[in-house]
Amino acid sequence: MRKQIAIALTLILLAGCDNPRRQEKSEPAPAEYAWEYWRNPDGYLDDQAKVLFGLIDATLGRNPATTEPSAERQLALASLDALLHDTRNDDSPALHAFLDMRMTRVLAQLKERPKKKGVELFKLYNDGFVVRAGGATVGFDLCGTRQGVKYIPDSLMREIVGLCDMLFISHRDPDHADAIVVDMASEAGIPVYGPEDYPNEKTEKVRMEDFGSRRLAKGIEVQALPGHQDELQNNIYVVTFPNGHTVAHCGDQYNREDLIWLKTVSEKMARPLDILIIDCWALELKETVEGFSPRLVVFGHENEMGHTIDHREAFWLTQYKSETLPVPSVVLSWGEGYLL
């Protein structure tokens, strides 16, 4: 009986679609049943985005990041790429709801008791990361706004910042140096370290041409390698945590002259590197990774909103690039963590 009813409804709907009188209507027809989209393509695409974002979130939850991702995980990331390369979603309620959900989950994880061993890493949006190990928590390039669009609500970002012991800014571009985030940290008494040419007076300027290191609060040791994005100063921070784990964040390193020392940079670092956080579009990626000689590579900067779609680096493309590297790597979506 249910099958017969379903067939009958299908025939009725098909007949309605072929009805010439209905096709002559210039205004959207009132909904005659749930999910009516006749003459409402925007409504259809909006609802489809909501469904897909939800399915992606659930699939990523069932298939967490690993150095050998499942086919289901790769399909979820590729589906996310497709949504994020549709500019109609750039400031859509569906995208904001997805990001809010992902950032809320990161915040909840950060509030949990940290793991006793290893180093935990959380990817926020774009190239923003929070890393904690040995009782210390550090934020790199935390940014919630892009071209006036708020991708991480201030309420969530303020709580995340408040859980950090210090913040590092690689360079002055606004997608890495968020003045609102700096204000949040300053109000909470959290130190912010940035490059010499960043004009915000609330940051402590860092430049170390000799590859030296310095001791900061909470037993953290840092080197600021003198990198560049083209001609712009771009500090590559190499942070050693109290338990000895070392993490490097490359910011937007992209300068061919710097490759001379980057290809042997591990010789200039105080300790062996556990995790290298590097942009997915880094110059001579394989050779640079070899120069750092990390235990693990983590990528940043995929799908930066506001870029043209040909410059929104896709997760699927990063996954292909990762397969050329000499060390293990993980491709993280927004709002995901990894424990090494």
| Residue 156 belongs to domain with CATH number | 3.60.15.10
pLDDT in tens, 12-58: 333 344 433 334 444 554 545 567 888 889 989 999 999 999 999 99
Residue-level pLDDT at 209: 65
pLDDT higher for 144 or 193? Answer: 193
pLDDT over 90 at 315, yes or no:
yes
Total tally of structural domains belonging to the chain: 1
Looking at residue 254, the DSSP 8-state letter turns out to be: B
What pTM was computed for the model? 0.88
Helix (H) or strand (E) holding 152: none
Residue range 247-253: average pLDDT?
A: 97
Q: Look up residue 76 and give its amino acid.
A: A
Residue range 231-245: average pLDDT?
A: 96
Residue range 306-318: average pLDDT?
A: 92
Residue range 133-160: average pLDDT?
A: 93
pLDDT over 70 at 68, yes or no:
yes
Please state, rounded to an integer, the average pLDDT across all residues of the chain: 89
pLDDT over 90 at 223, yes or no:
yes
Q: Which residues pair with 138 in a beta bridge?
A: 131, 166
pLDDT over 80 at 323, yes or no:
yes
pLDDT over 80 at 147, yes or no:
no
CB 184 within 8 A of CB 171: no
For 25-39, 167-181, 315-329, which range has the lowest pLDDT when averaged over its residues? 25-39
The answer to the question of residue 109 being in a domain is: yes
The answer to the question of residue 333 being in a domain is: yes
CA–CA separation, 321 vs 288, rounded Å?
A: 13
Residue-level pLDDT at 149: 83
pLDDT class for 318, splitting at 50, 70, 90? very high
Residue 288's domain comprises: 45-339
pLDDT over 90 at 249, yes or no:
yes
The answer to the question of residue 30 being in a domain is: no
The answer to the question of residue 73 being in a domain is: yes
Residue range 81-104: average pLDDT?
A: 95
Quick one: what percent of the chain has pLDDT higher than 90? 74
Residue range 120-146: average pLDDT?
A: 95
The answer to the question of residue 113 being in a domain is: yes
Quick one: what percent of the chain has pLDDT higher than 70? 89
pLDDT over 50 at 2, yes or no:
no
The answer to the question of residue 8 being in a domain is: no
pLDDT class for 77, splitting at 50, 70, 90? very high
CB 227 within 8 A of CB 234: yes
pLDDT class for 71, splitting at 50, 70, 90? very high
Buried b (16+ CB within 10 A) or exposed e, 31-53: eeeeeebbeeeeeebbeebbebb
The answer to the question of residue 81 being in a domain is: yes
pLDDT over 50 at 95, yes or no:
yes
Give the Å distances, CA to CA, from 6 to 13, 37, 219, 264: 11, 19, 67, 67
Residue-level pLDDT at 27: 54
CA–CA separation, 223 vs 214, rounded Å?
A: 7
pLDDT in tens, 260-296: 999 999 998 889 999 999 999 999 999 999 999 999 9
The answer to the question of residue 36 being in a domain is: no
